[in-house]
Structure 1
């Protein structure tokens, strides 16, 4: 299998992990705020935005910062739900639930989005590593040689 001469979407990521973490927090909170304005509770809009966010961050990050984005989804959701539990716990749990119970309720109600977003992010990072290794092998073996599939 030979790789194309031009860079593919798997090789394009060039943003730092720190920038991607900050962007992730900002966009997750924005999605939560938008979902609250539209529906009064955290629901499907947040879940879809979270999955897409995890995917986008994994595509945009520089290879040296794969670890940062690889561990970001659960931390991102936990941070978002912690802030919501502190300010508007009724948006993720029952109004009478305490802080910890509201966080646990929020995480459990949105666990499918967390699992899907996390798995997609990890899958993208794995593909990016494989493409990078293949590209480097192809470069080392010379332009006239082809790699075996």
Structure 2
């Protein structure tokens, strides 16, 4: 009788402990941001605006005083709207250093492209060979001339 009572007490405590462990695990595991942002691309969805352009000795904040801007709006279906209202005119010396940098108004240029995501890298097949790097709410691209474009998620 006493052994049977001890056995029931042990079983009850074990069941209670197992229930506590299961509840703790269920409440703390399987967060959708595990893995540092890779995965199905849902973290890229949104609008990124150009905030900085570094070209040689030039370091320009965007949008500029003249109102020039560039923005990417990513959708979950793998498409992206790109919108800008300027183009750059630059002069380089024989060594490839930027000696002058100007902006030219273009009116609003807007188009839709497809993007692909692999980990923290975005590519735009058929549009450009440049790849864009994602880190938190920042997207960065370095072009063939070494110009660094930094975009922030809005």
Give the TM interval when normalised to the shorter protein: under 0.3
Which structure has the higher relative contact order (CA within 8 Å, separation 6+)?
A: 1
- Is the radius of gyration larger for structure 1 or structure 2? 2
TM-score (norm 2): 0.20
Q: Which has the higher strand share?
A: 2
Q: Which has the higher helix share?
A: 1
TM-score (norm 1): 0.21
